[in-house]
Amino acid sequence: MAFPLAAAVLGSGMNFSSFYTGDSSKVAGGAVDKPPVKVETRTLGSGNNSGSYDTSGTQNKETGPKYNHAKDFLDQINYINDSRFGNELTEFVKNYELNKEIYERISQKVDIPPQLIAAIHYRESVGNFNTYLHNGQQLGQITTEVPRGKLFYDFEEAAVDALLEKDPNRKFHNLSGNSNDLVAMLAYAEAYNGWGYLDNDRVSPYVYNGTNVYEIGKYTEDRIYDPNVIDEQPGVYILLKALESTLGSSNVFTPVVESSDNSITWTNPNDEHMINGVIPVNQIPFSSTGCAIASFTMLANFYGAGIDFNIVSRKYAPGNEMNFPKASEAINLSYNRNNVGAGFTKENVYECIKSNIDQKLPCIISTDGYNSQGHYSNHFAVVIGYTNDGNNDKDIIIMDPWGGTQTTLDNMQIYKNSGKILSVREFISKE
C-alpha cells in the first residue's frame, strides 16, 4: 500500500495537491463521552453547615423575599444526585482549574465570585468560551435571544458586559468577588436566569437540578413552561458545591477517579518512533464537540502556525464543522485523507501511521463509537508516536483533545466503546 504524503520526500518537487482524495470539505466536530469516573455519594448533614460556604443566610441584613426563598430551598437540600451528574461535575472541576485565571480576571472586574461565574457559564453553554455568557449564543454574531442586539467577539468582554448588567442584583445581595455567602449566590443565579419559576411557585432547575429539591418541569422557551420536561444539566447549587474545595474547605464534594484495568502503563518509545513538540489542546473549555478543531490546532502549531482554537473555529469550522482542506492550504500544508474501506484496511492504517511517525509527521485519526448513553458519535485525535511494532491499538500513541491528554488509541474517547477507525489524515509542509 502506497501512502502518497508519508512516502513523499520533502523538497522533491512533487505536486502534493494531486493527492487530494475527494474529501468532503466539512466533517462534523464529533461529540465525545465523559471520562470513566465515579463520584462519592454524599448525604449532606443537617442544615448543610459544613464546608467553606456560609449557608446561614445571615450575611445580608436586608434579605427580602428572594434571598429568603433561596435560604428556604437551601435548607431543604439533603443530597446531590452523584449517580446522574458525578462524571460531569468531575469534568467541571477540571475545567475550572484549567481556566481559573479567566474567571478570576472577570471576577476582578465585576466583583462576583469566580466560582459563581464558572457555574453560570456552565449552565449557559457547558463552559464554551466561544459563546455569550448572556445567553449561550455564538460569539461574533449579533444576539437574537434575550438580551438581543449584543455583539462581542471576546468571551471575557462579553462576560463582563453580561454580569455588569446584573450589578443591581449583586449589590442587593451584598455579593463581592471573595464572598462565601451561598444563599446570596443562589439568589443571584436565579435572578440571572429569571424569576419565572419563583413567580409561578415552581422550582428552578437552573439553580437546583441534581438535588432532592428539583424533580421535573422547565421553561423550554421564554415564558413557555413544560411540566413534563426534565432538565439535563447540573444546577448552579451542585456546580458550586463541586468547587467548594477552591474556597479552602476541608469537607466538600470530592470527585474520585475510578481505577481501571485499562489504565495506561507507559513504555518509553524510541525517539525515532515518537514526535516531540505537539502541544496539547483541550477542547473541553471551548466545545464538547470541537475535537476536530482542537486536533487541527495542535497539528498546525506543530508546524509553527501560532494559532488557537478560537481562530481555527472562526475561520475554518463554521457551524463547528472542520474544513481540513481549506485550513491546511491556509497554513501551507499539503493534505491527504485515507478513508478506511476495502482498499485501505486497518492494517494499512497502522502502516500509514508508522510511515508518518518515522518521518516525524504527526497525523490526525478519526474514529466512531458510542458514548455511555448508547449514542453514536465520532472523534478526532492527533497521532504522535508508536511503541513496539505499532501494529495494535495499544501501541499507537495519541494526543486526545478530550482533556488534552496523551494516551493510546485503545483508550481514545468514543473509539474505546465499540468503535472503528474511519480515516487517517496526513499533512506535510510545502516549504
Question: Does the bond joining 205 to the residue before it have cis omega, within 30 degrees of 0?
Answer: no
Residues 6+ apart with CB under 8 A from 4: 16, 19, 336, 426
- Judged by DSSP in three states, 255 sits in strand
> Residues 46, 64: one domain?
yes
Total domains, the chain: 2
Q: Are residues 67 and 183 in the same domain?
A: yes
**Residue after which a domain boundary falls, among 228, 256, 284:** 256
In this structure, the answer to whether residues 46 and 159 fall within a common structural domain is yes
- Among the three residues 206, 235, 256, which one is the final residue of a domain in this structure? 256
Q: Are residues 162 and 249 in the same domain?
A: yes
The rounded distance, in Å, linking the Cα atoms of 207 and 196 is 13
> Taking a C-beta distance cutoff of 8 angstroms, is the pair 8, 356 a contact?
no
Are 310 and 225 contained in the same domain?
no
* Separation CA 300–CA 308 (nearest Å): 9
Assess whether 156 and 194 both reside in one domain. yes
Tens of each residue's pLDDT in the chain, 431 residues: 444 444 433 333 323 222 222 333 334 344 333 333 333 333 333 333 334 788 888 888 777 888 999 999 999 998 888 888 888 998 899 999 999 999 999 999 999 999 999 999 999 999 999 999 999 999 999 999 889 999 999 999 999 999 999 898 899 888 999 999 999 999 999 999 998 898 889 999 999 999 999 999 999 876 789 999 999 999 999 999 999 877 643 233 333 323 333 333 333 445 678 998 888 888 877 777 889 999 999 999 999 888 888 889 999 998 888 999 999 999 999 999 999 998 999 999 999 999 999 999 999 999 998 865 677 889 999 999 999 999 999 999 999 998 788 889 998 988 888 889 999 999 999 87
Give the other-Cβ count within 10 Å of 45's Cβ: 11
Gyration radius of the chain's alpha carbons: 24
Same domain, 220 and 274: no
The whole-model pTM stands at: 0.50
Q: 252 and 267 share a domain?
A: no
CATH number, domain containing residue 355:
3.90.70.10
230 lies in the same domain as 272: no
Same-domain status, 269 and 166? no
The C-alpha angle 166, 168, 169, rounded to 5 degrees, equals 70
Measured CA to CA, the distance from residue 213 to residue 259 in angstroms comes to 32
Among 255, 320, 310, smallest CA distance to 288 is for: 320
| Domain span at 91 | 38-256
Q: What is the DSSP pairing of strand 363-370 with strand 333-339?
A: unpaired
275 and 251 housed in the same domain: no
Considering all CA atoms of the chain, what is the largest pairwise distance in Å, rounded to the nearest integer? Answer: 77
Domain endpoint, select from 206, 236, 256: 256
Q: Give yes or no: residues 53 and 150 share one domain.
A: yes
